[in-house]
Amino acid sequence: MLVSYRWLQRHIDLEGISAEQLCDDLTLSTAEVEGMEEFAPHLGQIHVGAVKERVAHPDADKLSVCTVDLGQGEDLTIVCGAPNVDAGQKVAVATVGTVLPGDFKIKKSKIRGVASQGMICSERELEIGENHDGIWVLDPDAELGAPVADALGLRDWIIEIDNKSLTHRPDLWGHRGIATELAAIYHRPLKPLDFSWPALGDGAPYPIRIETPACPRYLGLLIDGATAEASPAWLRWLLLAVGQRPIDCLVDLSNFVMLDLGQPNHTFDLKALHADGIEVRMAREGEHMQTLDGEDRALGPDDLLICSGDTPVALAGIMGGEGSKVAGKTDTLLLEVATFEAAVVRRTSSRLGLRTDASARFEKSLDPTLPERAAAHFARLLQELQPEVRFPAPPTDVGDWTDPAHTLSLQPERVRRELGKEIPDDEITSILVRLGFGVEKSGDGYSVAVPSSRSTKDVHLDRDLVEEVGRIHRYGNIEEKNMRADVAPPPKDPRRILVRAVQDRLAGAGHFHECVGYTFIEDALLEKLGMQALPHLRVVNPASQGQDKIRRTLVPSLLDRLEPNRRLRDDVRLFEVGKGYVPDPGDPSAEPREIHLAGLAWATAPVSAGARFDAHAFNQLQAVIIDVLDHAEVAEIRWRPCAEPPAWAHPAKVLEAVGPEDGPALAVLAELDPALHNPLGLSGDHASDVAAAEISLDAVLGAPRRGSRYRPLPRYPGIKLDVAVALPGATEASAIREAIEKAGKGSVADAELFDVYRGESVGEGRKSLAYHVTLQSEKKTLSEKDEQKFLKRFRALVEELGGELRSGDAD
């Protein structure tokens, strides 16, 4: 909301208080000031001049050559094109070098052969009015040579207050309310305003009926003889200062009263209203009306209408209707000043996306006692402007409203305890009184009368009074205290510990970069991955189209980040720890299942032909998963074919890891489906070897943990030997690993596959596997004889598998 310093001065004496000071004080005691700027600062550069002489331009019919006195001794010659310029006028003069709005710099110039030393300005050129038909003729009493801003008392500062910080303060949506705060802050009185009715005729009150509790009060006042003429300068300038475009004095006055007291109001042309009068009712299903902005609005039973007879003429509290606009000379007007239910106005305004100055105020819960004062204020101001105006009848004041003013009991000790500061009773009561509360001693505390302006919304509890005292006393004057409490170590959170372990292991040993991704996932990506058919929870108002789904898993977002990063790096390893949301298939409104996941994606330049058999991203990533799960102290893992492979997985190269007791998969690991390389941009120049995995943190937390894994160091030296076997190509490596275990009869401490070879030397369709084997006994030093026994048994087992032992050498 914009507040004018000069406007505030109508309500309170601000002598000695700068606009800067005022902004600081409002920020520290009342509401956040977002900014302040001078109103029309160029008016300080424009000076009052007197036109001493005006002669016609020798070479141009429409131009005049004026001699202008700026009170500086030497007169200026100014060529002026305005028809209304004349000798004897006081005018606004921009001299050479002055910059007008729109970055328009006044230069010395020759106009049709006559040198002009400045410009006589119109209101529009100075942005303080619409008038451009002629120059701005100033008050003859304006001080010669003075800046126009000072000569006309137009120096003003516009203060912008953050609307969010006024959400709970309907009373602060007008200058009077802000002035009330300043009165409390500066210990100064508010200037009185006359809220009594002007002379009212004894005609018949206008008929008004309220058919719904959504309108607690409706006050209508008939006005005769008003003219929709231009407003006087003071009114136009105040409105301009706070960003309102002056229209005519009826519209301007309506806005003025709203911005002055915070009470929206509306004027209807009585000619346009039905003889039956006004009816306030809820709209009917399927009803329509055209609002002042020309839009046709489809309405329903939640929308509150002001009707003339049965025809809607205004969307209550939001906007008037096209039909009843007041224009030109009208015989009789109806001034509406009402109170509408905040929630009703808010709902309609949100649904229609129609936010107006009026709706912003009504939705804050306005004081129902305010309409009468606002109507009287309007009437008195109008009569000041147009003395011929008459009020032919008493106001019609209907509605089932009650004064919300109430009384709270306040223990001063409570104020001191909750603020943590020894504020004496007399300061507490003084602050409350300055803010307009009534305070009376009652027992050992006080009985505090909350004014109606503060009663609709934010002051209901004694805690609310604590805030009043605290903010005016200033929170900055409360010294800090330390809490005293028994502090025990908080309970350990296994999930948080696991998350940290996973993050540390991946970022550390795994050399992965941690990402934090968006929870929303794009349709385009899901389509690329063939996941568009999976049920996803959606938002109805996404940030952008195609971004309405909430992700179930993390890998898709990571896969999406591979291509741009592969353009930059040969080896891209990304992970994310986060949540996925799986909707309940039976009930889309039910809370979705939240799952905790770690997603991993690894893309490298394609593996070269001569690389080790396990150089692929898939193998590398498998090692990482094993390491992470081991780090997470999962007792033991096994890999098995994946029952439900994710959409992005290579149909054959996909595995899942399970714990010792089977149960849910701890992790799923797969190579990226070759069919997805192209759609994901991982082909051509950025062809990549890609693997991805997802760890279920929930499953890991549920899996049995290994205890300490310390084992005593071997007491006897072991034997290291390498074995190589040639096998039919289809035999799995696990068969050989089992054969090694079996041949060792419990003495195999380790067996590591280090080579897989296919080639001529092992024969067509066959492969060779080579292992480093360590034999170890806890009872004795193993001898060459033990090694020979092992090799003999191993050879037999290999031959059973259709293979042959190619070599078996001890190191």
Determine which residue in the list 418, 627, 722, 786 makes contact with other proteins, applying CB under 8 A.
418
775 touches 749 (CB < 8 A)? yes
572 touches 604 (CB < 8 A)? yes
Of the candidate spans 50-58, 255-263, 371-379, 464-472, the one that interacts with other proteins by CB under 8 A turns out to be 464-472
Interacting positions 518-537 with other proteins (CB under 8 A): 518-520, 537
The minimum distance between CB 442 and other proteins, in angstroms, equals 19
- Copy the structure tokens of residue 163: 């609307």
- Residue with Cβ nearer other proteins (127 or 418): 418
Total residues in contact with other proteins, by rule CB under 8 A = 91
Using rule CB under 8 A, residue 87 touches other proteins: no
Determine which residue in the list 113, 201, 420, 802 makes contact with other proteins, applying CB under 8 A.
420
The distance of Cα 729 from the centroid of its chain, to the nearest Å, equals 62
Determine which residue in the list 211, 594, 661, 800 makes contact with other proteins, applying CB under 8 A.
594
- Residue with Cβ nearer other proteins (535 or 746): 535
Q: Following CA atoms 361, 363, 369, 371 in sequence, which dihedral angle do they give, to the nearest 10 degrees?
A: 50
Alpha carbon separation from 295 to 310, 319, 346, 352, 605 (Å, rounded): 20, 11, 19, 11, 59
Using rule CB under 8 A, residue 185 touches other proteins: no
The minimum distance between CB 344 and other proteins, in angstroms, equals 8
Q: Which residue has the tokens 């602060």?
A: 172
Q: What is the β-pairing status of strands 689-696 and 719-728?
A: unpaired
Whole-angstrom Cα distance, residue 312 to residue 305?
A: 6
Whole-angstrom Cα distance, residue 353 to residue 347?
A: 10
Q: Which residue has the tokens 């480093």?
A: 772
Interacting positions 362-401 with other proteins (CB under 8 A): 363-364
Alpha carbon separation from 457 to 2, 267, 339, 346, 594 (Å, rounded): 22, 27, 14, 15, 38
Using rule CB under 8 A, residue 485 touches other proteins: yes
The minimum distance between CB 753 and other proteins, in angstroms, equals 24
Of the candidate spans 424-432, 567-575, 630-638, 735-743, the one that interacts with other proteins by CB under 8 A turns out to be 567-575
Q: Which residue has the tokens 């994310």?
A: 576
The minimum distance between CB 401 and other proteins, in angstroms, equals 19
Is the sign of the CA dihedral 437, 441, 443, 445 positive or negative?
A: positive
First to last CA, the chain: 86
The minimum distance between CB 319 and other proteins, in angstroms, equals 18
- Copy the structure tokens of residue 607: 């593996």
- Residue with Cβ nearer other proteins (330 or 365): 365
The minimum distance between CB 569 and other proteins, in angstroms, equals 6
Of the candidate spans 441-449, 458-466, 524-532, 642-650, the one that interacts with other proteins by CB under 8 A turns out to be 458-466
- Residue with Cβ nearer other proteins (466 or 555): 466
Interacting positions 314-343 with other proteins (CB under 8 A): 342-343
Interacting positions 207-236 with other proteins (CB under 8 A): none
Query: Using the 8-state DSSP alphabet, how is residue 647 labeled?
Result: T
Q: Which residue has the tokens 């799960």?
A: 629
- Residue with Cβ nearer other proteins (363 or 787): 363
- Residue with Cβ nearer other proteins (115 or 623): 623
> Which residues 6+ apart lie within 8 Å of 748 measured at CB?
740, 741, 773, 774, 775, 776
Whole-angstrom Cα distance, residue 408 to residue 439?
A: 10
DSSP E strands in 9-117: the ranges are: 33-38, 47-56, 64-69, 76-80, 90-95, 99-100, 104-105, 109-111, 114-116
385 touches 253 (CB < 8 A)? yes
Of the candidate spans 78-86, 145-153, 482-490, 687-695, the one that interacts with other proteins by CB under 8 A turns out to be 482-490
- Residue with Cβ nearer other proteins (40 or 550): 550
Determine which residue in the list 74, 296, 493, 570 makes contact with other proteins, applying CB under 8 A.
493
The minimum distance between CB 504 and other proteins, in angstroms, equals 8
Using rule CB under 8 A, residue 427 touches other proteins: no
Question: In terms of Cα–Cα distance, which of 118, 144, 131 is closest to 83?
Answer: 131
- Residue with Cβ nearer other proteins (169 or 176): 169
- Copy the structure tokens of residue 422: 């020894």
- Residue with Cβ nearer other proteins (110 or 492): 492
Write out the H or E segment, with its range, that includes residue 758. Answer: none
The minimum distance between CB 469 and other proteins, in angstroms, equals 10
Determine which residue in the list 198, 438, 592, 681 makes contact with other proteins, applying CB under 8 A.
592
Of the candidate spans 2-10, 69-77, 271-279, 457-465, the one that interacts with other proteins by CB under 8 A turns out to be 457-465
Of the candidate spans 8-16, 255-263, 411-419, 758-766, the one that interacts with other proteins by CB under 8 A turns out to be 411-419
Q: What is the β-pairing status of strands 571-582 and 513-514?
A: parallel
Query: Using the 8-state DSSP alphabet, how is residue 85 labeled?
Result: -
The minimum distance between CB 66 and other proteins, in angstroms, equals 44
Of the candidate spans 151-159, 325-333, 445-453, 568-576, the one that interacts with other proteins by CB under 8 A turns out to be 568-576
144 touches 89 (CB < 8 A)? no
Question: In terms of Cα–Cα distance, which of 556, 567, 364 is closest to 455?
Answer: 364
Question: In terms of Cα–Cα distance, which of 519, 170, 529, 109 is closest to 317?
Answer: 170
Interacting positions 496-515 with other proteins (CB under 8 A): 496, 500, 503-504, 506-508, 510-515
Using rule CB under 8 A, residue 564 touches other proteins: yes
- Residue with Cβ nearer other proteins (28 or 385): 28
Q: Which residue has the tokens 């008050």?
A: 139
Question: In terms of Cα–Cα distance, which of 153, 173, 154 is closest to 163?
Answer: 173
The minimum distance between CB 359 and other proteins, in angstroms, equals 10
The minimum distance between CB 144 and other proteins, in angstroms, equals 39
The minimum distance between CB 413 and other proteins, in angstroms, equals 12
Site string for other proteins, 153-172 (x = CB under 8 A): -----------xxxxxx---
Q: What are phi and psi of 359, to 5 degrees?
A: -65, -35
Query: Using the 8-state DSSP alphabet, how is residue 166 labeled?
Result: G
3-class SS letters over 549-618: EECCCCHHHHHHHHHHHHCCCCEEEEEEEEEEEECCCCCCCCCCEEEEEEEEEEEECCCCCCCCCCCCHH
Determine which residue in the list 464, 614, 698, 755 makes contact with other proteins, applying CB under 8 A.
464
Whole-angstrom Cα distance, residue 159 to residue 161?
A: 6
- Residue with Cβ nearer other proteins (132 or 569): 569
Interacting positions 722-761 with other proteins (CB under 8 A): none
Site string for other proteins, 569-588 (x = CB under 8 A): x--xxx----x-x------x
- Residue with Cβ nearer other proteins (541 or 545): 541
What is the arrangement of strands in the sheet containing 2-4, beginning at the earlier edge strand? Answer: 2-4, 157-161, 33-38
Interacting positions 27-86 with other proteins (CB under 8 A): 27-32
- Residue with Cβ nearer other proteins (253 or 465): 465
664 touches 569 (CB < 8 A)? no
442 touches 431 (CB < 8 A)? no
Question: In terms of Cα–Cα distance, which of 542, 496, 495, 497 is closest to 523?
Answer: 542
Determine which residue in the list 463, 612, 638, 745 makes contact with other proteins, applying CB under 8 A.
463
Determine which residue in the list 56, 204, 478, 623 makes contact with other proteins, applying CB under 8 A.
478
- Residue with Cβ nearer other proteins (584 or 750): 584
580 touches 554 (CB < 8 A)? yes
66 forms beta bridges with 54, 78
- Residue with Cβ nearer other proteins (335 or 550): 550
Determine which residue in the list 54, 188, 561, 806 makes contact with other proteins, applying CB under 8 A.
561
- Residue with Cβ nearer other proteins (57 or 414): 414
- Residue with Cβ nearer other proteins (503 or 774): 503
